[in-house]
Amino acid sequence: MSDSHQQNYQRFLDEVTANRVMWGLRFGEEWVVCDSSEFEDTEVMPVWSRESEAKTQCIDEWAEYVPFEITLPEFLEIWVEDMSEDGVRIGPNWDAELDGVEQDVLELVKALA
């Protein structure tokens, strides 16, 4: 993991713990997910600790998407189980090139605890 990816990941943990919110990209009922660059046949849902960072991704094929708030309690109560069952990983604070840490959702929960 590069230093910048590690820094983005740590900032995600710090800011989500402090603010109790994260941001995904949504259009209607559809959420942005990407193919994993690390694992075959695996999807990753990018999320950001700042709305402004999520908004910068709303271009090109995601121009109709908007940042959508996911509270930490909602994430823990609803999202974690579904993502874990579906084998979807999480991409906290991915950079502008949609690159960064691909974290197992249960490992992320441990890191946020």
Q: Which residues contact 61 (CB under 8 A, 6 or more apart)?
A: none
State residue 97's pLDDT score. 87
Check: pTM over 0.85? Answer yes or no. yes
pLDDT digits (tens, 9 = 90+) for 30-45: 999 999 999 999 999 9
Q: Give the pLDDT confidence score for residue 2 in this predicted structure.
A: 78
Say how many Å lie between the first and final Cα of the chain, rounded: 22
Specify the 3-state DSSP secondary structure of 24.
strand
Over residues 4-27, the mean pLDDT reads 96
pLDDT at 6: 92
How confident is the model at residue 21, as a pLDDT?
Answer: 98
Nearest residue to 38 (alpha-carbon basis) of 107, 113, 97, 100:
100
pLDDT tens digits, residue range 34-87? 999 999 999 999 999 999 999 999 999 899 999 999 999 999 999 999 999 999
